[in-house]
């Protein structure tokens, strides 16, 4: 049996004329030839035109051709070549077709922040068609030597990839390829392949595929998500071995400046070998928070959405696409209105990555001499290196719940201590702020099988910690122990009022006293409160005396202030970051912090968007925290801004009655005062059907 994957690329799909050409080719061979759709398993006899037409294979359909008989390999290759040649049909102009493409929206999981508009570049998953060949007894040793040579070549390639990864991605990501090298040295893999060659008289390619498939099947049966996803590492190594056995040169496509990689899955070495200066975003059918692809994307500052389920087959290279990691959504062939809506928030993370090479660090100083600290929001230990690479003033928010790489399982105190110690050492003198576990809501991490009707308003964040104080106590002890290795603070998430703060502080105090009794040293950490719901804003002046600092979570603050689910498309028009109520809440919180002489750190999308950052500076914010890759972009904006001008504009915005009015001020005044910093696409779009008079200008 021989087989190979095919794609229908013609504009009209596998129509009658193409089917007739296919039948003529298929009838030249003795073998039985079958076409099979991969999306619904429908099969067709390639020698029957009616059977082929019943496949209803439109453009973009993925098929598999299978042949069985004396000339099966030649038959498969001939059919494959016919598909590649597009059935020898002339390519017709498609201008009318492109004008009528349907906008397609697909939900997934945003694993690396950002919003990008670009063009699709499809990457196949690298799976190779492998044929079985009978090896004579006298040739078995030669076949084993050929396999060993492929192992040696693969090892040299991986060592080179690892060296490049260390230079461009950092040591925190290069470790992935240590695991790949270990796979190549593992007798379970190499010995089993050689034994299969000898026992079954099989060629090395077939033996490597069989052994690799066995290992992958074991991984696929593992219930633990994190361990199951490590199967991609085995697949990566096997595909490299197969390429080297075949003599194939692994090439990569030329990337345009706005490339969005779309794939079923991306193997770690594929990412490491791409020219990432031209990649703006990644969208894949498979993957999760803990996949190596997601980890690398966050470290590079590449916008990424995964878990899109069969999205790959809907795309064509060159299609326009929007990737919105904030909402966990991709939009294929977006309408003009969709593009306009996104143009303001779009930023190229890859541009930020390139600009990080300047090695600028420390606070940014505005033109009138105001210092503003730019901190990093990070989630996993592998991202620690990005704090230094992007010049962050320490870690403004460490989302500790993402340490729970195995959902439903808590790390031990010692395991948590190890991570917090590494964080303290990586953050340096500026230190790091650890958010206590924010379990529930959009984090995707739950410790209970009981689903809640409305998790965003349910038992999450500090509410969970206070209800399950043994979980909170374990985390607090681990953080306290790690304070001996660097400056660490902790912040209490989603406080509703001063009572939440006092109850949390009581637990922290009790654990400090227990450590003292046990003779375990620690440095007393500062304790802060997350201000992200209206009740906390309205009582910020009461909360401030109870804590050492505030942290404003603007993403949740917008959502809760406006009662708008930011992941719900039906109400997206109501999610207005510049709504006067949101600005009032931020301003009130900053004033309460100033009156109490405590710092206030603003984090979330507002901090990482240049135009919003200017308004925040105008309201007196001098401490911002954002995804590391956004730091160079925000730095280059703020260093050219006079905060007295920004304060004047912020004051006007606070007097507005609607988000439209605020956006109009930002749109007009920013363009007039700082045209080189804010081209029209970098500012809020003008509402349709309204003019300046209608919005208060």
- 615 pLDDT higher than 50: yes
The highest-confidence range among 209-223, 267-281, 479-493, by mean pLDDT, is: 479-493
- The answer to whether residues 434 and 526 belong to one domain is yes
Output the pLDDT for position 70. Answer: 92
Q: Who's near 696: CB < 8 A, 6+ residues apart? A: 656, 657, 658, 660, 661, 664
Rounded to an integer, the average pLDDT of 135-161 is 91
Q: How confident is the model at residue 389 (pLDDT cuts 50, 70, 90)?
A: confident
Which of 193, 214, 246 is a domain's end point? 246
Q: What is the rounded CA–CA span in Å between residue 389 and residue 363? A: 15
Q: What is the rounded CA–CA span in Å between residue 624 and residue 363? A: 10
- Is 661 or 276 the better-scoring residue by pLDDT? 661
Output the pLDDT for position 299. Answer: 66
Place of tokens 């074991």: 218
Residue 478 lies in a domain: yes
| CATH code of the domain in which 175 resides | 1.10.274.10
pLDDT tens profile 527-550: 999 999 999 999 999 999 999 999
Rounded to an integer, the average pLDDT of 305-328 is 88
* DSSP notation for 627-664: -GGGHHHHHHHHTT--HHHHHHHHHHHHT-SSHHHHHH
Residue 428 lies in a domain: yes
The pairing of strands 279-284 and 303-306 is parallel
- 481 pLDDT higher than 90: yes
Place of tokens 């988000």: 659
Output the pLDDT for position 92. Answer: 40
Output the pLDDT for position 554. Answer: 92
Which of 246, 262, 297 is a domain's end point? 246
- 484 pLDDT higher than 90: yes
The pairing of strands 432-435 and 395-399 is parallel
- Residue 189 in tokens: 């893999």
Q: Fill in the DSSP letter of residue 539.
A: T
- The answer to whether residues 513 and 588 belong to one domain is yes
SS3 124: coil
- The answer to whether residues 201 and 271 belong to one domain is no
| Partners of 331 in the β-ladder | 105, 322
Q: What does R_g of the chain's alpha carbons equal in angstroms?
A: 28
- The answer to whether residues 555 and 644 belong to one domain is yes
Q: How confident is the model at residue 453 (pLDDT cuts 50, 70, 90)?
A: low
- 408 pLDDT higher than 60: no
Angle value at C-alpha 432, between 426 and 436, nearest 5 degrees = 125
- 398 pLDDT higher than 50: yes
Rounded to an integer, the average pLDDT of 94-102 is 50
C-alpha separations of 318 from 122, 297, 428 in Å? 9, 22, 44
- Residue 558 in tokens: 């917008």
- The answer to whether residues 549 and 479 belong to one domain is yes
- 353 pLDDT higher than 70: no
**How many structural domains does the chain have?**
4
Which of 343, 377, 408 is a domain's end point? 343
Q: Who's near 201: CB < 8 A, 6+ residues apart? A: 134, 135, 136, 137, 140
- The answer to whether residues 256 and 241 belong to one domain is no
| Partners of 177 in the β-ladder | none
- The answer to whether residues 201 and 314 belong to one domain is no
- The answer to whether residues 46 and 169 belong to one domain is no
Output the pLDDT for position 175. Answer: 63
| Residue 60 and residue 49 in contact, taking contact as beta carbons nearer than 8 Å | no
Residue 602 structural domain: 359-655
Output the pLDDT for position 97. Answer: 40
pLDDT tens profile 175-206: 677 778 877 877 778 889 999 999 999 999 99
- Is 559 or 447 the better-scoring residue by pLDDT? 559
Query: 405: left (phi > 0), else alpha (psi -120 to 50), else beta?
Result: alpha
Residue 606 lies in a domain: yes
The set of catalytic residues is 292, 603
Rounded to an integer, the average pLDDT of 422-428 is 89
Helices and strands counted in the chain (H then E): 28, 21
Output the pLDDT for position 692. Answer: 45
Q: What is the rounded CA–CA span in Å between residue 655 and residue 580? A: 8
Q: What is the rounded CA–CA span in Å between residue 455 and residue 458? A: 5
Output the pLDDT for position 573. Answer: 79
Q: Who's near 499: CB < 8 A, 6+ residues apart? A: none
Q: Who's near 180: CB < 8 A, 6+ residues apart? A: 158, 233, 236, 237, 268, 269
SS3 533: coil
Q: How confident is the model at residue 168 (pLDDT cuts 50, 70, 90)?
A: low
Output the pLDDT for position 640. Answer: 95
Q: Considering only the C-alpha atoms of the chain, give the largest distance between any 2 of them, rounded to a whole number of Å.
A: 89
Place of tokens 């890859």: 350
Average pLDDT over the chain, rounded to an integer: 83
Instruction: Work out the end-to-end distance of the chain between its first and last CA atoms, rounded to an integer number of angstroms.
Output: 73
* Edge-to-edge strand list for the sheet holding 329-332: 104-107, 329-332, 320-324, 115-123, 259-263, 279-284, 303-306, 109-112
- The answer to whether residues 497 and 600 belong to one domain is yes
Q: What is the rounded CA–CA span in Å between residue 497 and residue 585? A: 15
Residue 145 lies in a domain: yes
Residue 693 lies in a domain: no
- Is 511 or 347 the better-scoring residue by pLDDT? 511
The pairing of strands 371-378 and 623-626 is parallel
Q: What is the rounded CA–CA span in Å between residue 43 and residue 64? A: 9
Q: What is the rounded CA–CA span in Å between residue 636 and residue 590? A: 24
| CATH code of the domain in which 294 resides | 3.50.30.10
| CATH code of the domain in which 81 resides | 3.30.1340.10
Residue 348 lies in a domain: no
Q: What is the rounded CA–CA span in Å between residue 530 and residue 468? A: 19
Q: What is the rounded CA–CA span in Å between residue 478 and residue 403? A: 13
- The answer to whether residues 589 and 539 belong to one domain is yes
597: exposed, middle or buried (C-beta count within 10 Å: 0-12, 13-18, 19+)? exposed
Say if pTM beats, i.e. exceeds, 0.95.
Answer: no
- The answer to whether residues 513 and 642 belong to one domain is yes
- Residue 505 in tokens: 């502080």
Q: How many CB atoms lie under 10 A from the CB of residue 697?
A: 12
Angle value at C-alpha 135, between 134 and 136, nearest 5 degrees = 120
Output the pLDDT for position 111. Answer: 82
C-alpha separations of 632 from 350, 359, 388 in Å? 11, 10, 12
Residue 463 lies in a domain: yes
pLDDT tens profile 259-288: 898 988 877 666 666 666 678 899 998 877
The highest-confidence range among 91-105, 122-136, 479-493, 679-693, by mean pLDDT, is: 479-493
| CATH code of the domain in which 374 resides | 3.20.20.60
Q: Who's near 597: CB < 8 A, 6+ residues apart? A: none
Rounded to an integer, the average pLDDT of 251-262 is 71
Residue 684 lies in a domain: no
Q: How confident is the model at residue 93 (pLDDT cuts 50, 70, 90)?
A: very low
- The answer to whether residues 33 and 121 belong to one domain is no
The highest-confidence range among 269-273, 425-429, 683-687, by mean pLDDT, is: 425-429
- Is 446 or 660 the better-scoring residue by pLDDT? 660
Least confident of 187-201, 428-442, 662-676: 428-442
- 8 pLDDT higher than 60: yes
Q: Who's near 613: CB < 8 A, 6+ residues apart? A: 606, 607, 624, 634, 637, 638
Q: How confident is the model at residue 9 (pLDDT cuts 50, 70, 90)?
A: confident
Pick the closest to residue 674 from 629, 650, 638, 648 (CA basis): 638
Output the pLDDT for position 344. Answer: 64
- Is 676 or 506 the better-scoring residue by pLDDT? 506
- Residue 559 in tokens: 């959502």
């Amino acid at each position: 049996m021989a087989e190979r994957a095919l794609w229908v690329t013609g504009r009209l799909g596998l129509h009658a004329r193409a089917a007739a050409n296919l039948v003529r080719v298929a009838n030249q061979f003795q073998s039985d030839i079958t076409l099979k759709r991969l999306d619904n398993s429908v099969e067709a006899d390639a020698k029957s035109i009616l059977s082929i037409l019943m496949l209803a294979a439109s453009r973009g359909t993925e098929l598999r051709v299978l042949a069985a008989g004396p000339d099966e390999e030649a038959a498969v290759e001939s059919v494959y070549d016919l598909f590649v040649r597009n059935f020898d049909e002339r390519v017709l102009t498609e201008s009318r077709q492109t004008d009528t493409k349907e906008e397609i929206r697909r939900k997934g999981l945003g694993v690396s922040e950002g919003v990008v508009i670009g063009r699709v570049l499809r990457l196949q998953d690298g799976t190779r068609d492998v044929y079985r060949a009978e090896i004579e007894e006298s040739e078995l040793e030669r076949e084993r030597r050929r396999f060993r040579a492929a192992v040696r070549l693969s090892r040299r390639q991986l060592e080179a990839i690892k060296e490049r990864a260390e230079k461009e991605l950092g040591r925190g990501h290069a470790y992935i390829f240590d695991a790949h090298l270990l796979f190549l040295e593992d007798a379970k893999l190499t010995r089993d392949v050689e034994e299969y060659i000898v026992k079954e008289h099989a060629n090395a390619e077939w033996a490597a595929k069989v052994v690799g498939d066995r290992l992958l099947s074991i991984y696929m049966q593992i219930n633990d998500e994190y361990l199951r996803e490590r199967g991609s590492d085995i697949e990566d190594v096997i595909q490299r071995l197969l390429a080297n056995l075949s003599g194939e040169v692994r090439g990569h496509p030329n990337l345009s400046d706005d490339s969005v990689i779309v794939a079923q899955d991306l193997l770690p070495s594929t990412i490491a070998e791409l020219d990432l200066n031209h990649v703006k975003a990644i969208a894949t059918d498979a993957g999760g928070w803990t996949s190596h692809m997601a980890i690398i994307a966050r470290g590079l500052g590449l916008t990424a959405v995964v878990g899109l389920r069969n999205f790959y087959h809907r795309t064509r290279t060159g299609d326009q696409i929007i990737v919105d990691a904030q909402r966990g959504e991709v939009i294929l062939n977006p309408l003009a209105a969709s593009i306009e809506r996104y143009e303001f928030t779009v930023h190229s993370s890859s541009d930020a990555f390139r600009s990080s090479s300047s090695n600028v660090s420390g606070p940014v100083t505005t033109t009138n001499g105001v210092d503003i600290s730019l901190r990093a929001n990070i989630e996993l230990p592998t991202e620690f290196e990005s704090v230094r690479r992007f010049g962050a003033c320490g870690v403004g928010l460490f989302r500790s719940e993402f340490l729970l790489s195995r959902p439903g399982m808590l790390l031990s105190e010692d395991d948590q201590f190890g991570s917090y110690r590494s964080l303290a050492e990586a953050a340096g003198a500026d230190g790091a702020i650890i958010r206590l576990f924010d379990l529930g809501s959009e984090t995707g991490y739950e410790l209970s099988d009981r689903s809640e009707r409305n998790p965003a308003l349910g038992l999450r964040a500090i509410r969970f910690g206070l209800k399950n104080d043994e979980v909170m106590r374990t985390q607090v002890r681990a953080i306290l122990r790690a304070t001996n290795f660097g400056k660490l603070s902790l912040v209490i998430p989603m406080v509703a009022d001063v009572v939440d703060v006092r109850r949390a502080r009581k637990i922290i105090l009790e654990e400090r006293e227990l450590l003292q009794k046990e003779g375990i040293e620690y440095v007393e950490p500062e304790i802060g409160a997350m201000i992200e719901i209206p009740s906390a804003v309205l009582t910020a002046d009461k909360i401030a005396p109870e804590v050492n600092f505030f942290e404003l979570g603007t993403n949740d603050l917008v959502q809760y202030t406006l009662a708008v689910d930011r992941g719900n498309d039906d109400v997206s028009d109501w999610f207005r970051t510049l709504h006067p109520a949101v600005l009032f809440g931020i301003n009130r919180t900053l004033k309460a912090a100033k009156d109490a002489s405590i710092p206030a750190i603003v984090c979330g999308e507002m901090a990482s968007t240049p135009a919003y950052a200017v308004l925040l500076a105008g309201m007196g914010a001098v401490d911002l925290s954002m995804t590391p890759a956004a730091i160079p972009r925000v730095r280059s904006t703020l260093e050219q801004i006079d905060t007295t001008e920004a304060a004047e504009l912020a004051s006007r915005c606070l007097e507005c009655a609607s988000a439209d009015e605020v956006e109009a001020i930002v749109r007009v005044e920013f363009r007039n005062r700082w045209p080189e910093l804010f081209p029209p696409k970098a500012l809020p779009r003008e509402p349709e059907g309204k003019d300046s008079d209608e919005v208060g200008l």
